[in-house]
Amino acid sequence: MAKAYSGRDYALAQLIFLVLLRVSIGWHLLYEGVVKIINPDWSAFGYLMDSKGLFAGLFQSMATHQGILQVVDFMNMWGLFLIGLGLMAGLFTRFSVICGIILLSFYFLSHPPLAGIQYIIPQEGSYLLVNKTLIEILALFVLLVFPTGQAAGIDRFLRKNKN
């Protein structure tokens, strides 16, 4: 992203809203992580079992293998926590954004809002093909192509140190 870093320039308003977008997504993922970490009974089991669509079998088989489920649980809890923290602080921002996209894509693929599909977990809105997870993924793509970690974030110091 060296090119974007050196060549991109933002107006103040552009920077403010890009950073706010980054911080908000970070806040959301961080809290999702924290909630799972502090709940000793939390497991992705139910969510995975409720998978539908093309990859449902894959996600369900993750749930039913104890060892894999434990890894999935761990990756979810700490993945969300660290990605959230990274986005908020602007630390390893680009890496955090990419990890966020990957993690959220798993959620989207396991619960695609296809016509005629009902989930056990109640959904709080009405969705057809596009849902908030997809929008959050796309927002992260925006943050990938409009990076802000070095403009407002700890990454600024890292760049500095490299120099």
Partner 1 sequence: MERNINGNKDLTQPKNMNRRDVIKGLATLPFIGAFAGAWVRKNSVEKQLKNKMLEVVNLTSEPVDLAPAVLGSKPLRLGIVGYGIRGRQLLRATGHAEPKWIDDSKAAAVENPLNTSYDDFMNQEGLDVVISGVCDIFDIYAGDAAHAGSNVSKEGTGGKMDAAPRRYRTYKEMMASPDIDAVIIATPDHWHATMAIEAARNGKHVYLEKPMTWTVPETYELVKAVRENKIVFQLGHQGRQTESYIKAKEVVHKNILGKITLVEVCTNRNDPNGAWVYPIHPEAGHQNIDWQQFLGPAPYHDFSLERFFRWRCWWDYSTGLNGDLLTHEYDCINQIMGIGIPDSVVASGGIYFFKDGRTVPDVQNVVMEFPGRDLTFLYSASLASDRQRGKVIMGHDAHMELSDRLIINADPQSTAYKEKIQNGTIDPQIPIYTFTPGKEGVDGAVSATEQYFASRGLLYTYRQGKRVDTTFLHMREWVNCIRAGIQPSCNIDRGFEEAITAHMATIALREGRKVYWDREKQEIVVS
Interface with partner 1 (CB under 8 A): 5-6, 8-12, 15, 19, 22-23, 26-27, 30-31, 34, 40-41, 43, 45-46, 49-50, 61, 64-66, 69, 85, 88-90, 120-122, 150-157, 159-160
Query: Which is closer to partner 1, CB of 120 or CB of 128?
Result: 120
Query: Which is closer to partner 1, CB of 50 or CB of 132?
Result: 50
CA distance 139 to 131: 12
Q: How far is the CB of 97 from partner 1 (least distance, A)?
A: 14
Query: Which is closer to partner 1, CB of 41 or CB of 128?
Result: 41
Q: How far is the CB of 104 from partner 1 (least distance, A)?
A: 19
Query: Which is closer to partner 1, CB of 29 or CB of 137?
Result: 29
Q: How far is the CB of 122 from partner 1 (least distance, A)?
A: 6
Q: How far is the CB of 42 from partner 1 (least distance, A)?
A: 9
51 Cα distance to chain centroid: 18
Sign of CA dihedral 151, 157, 162, 163: positive
Q: How far is the CB of 17 from partner 1 (least distance, A)?
A: 13
Query: Which is closer to partner 1, CB of 13 or CB of 129?
Result: 13
- List the end-to-end C-alpha distance of the chain, in Å, as a whole number: 16
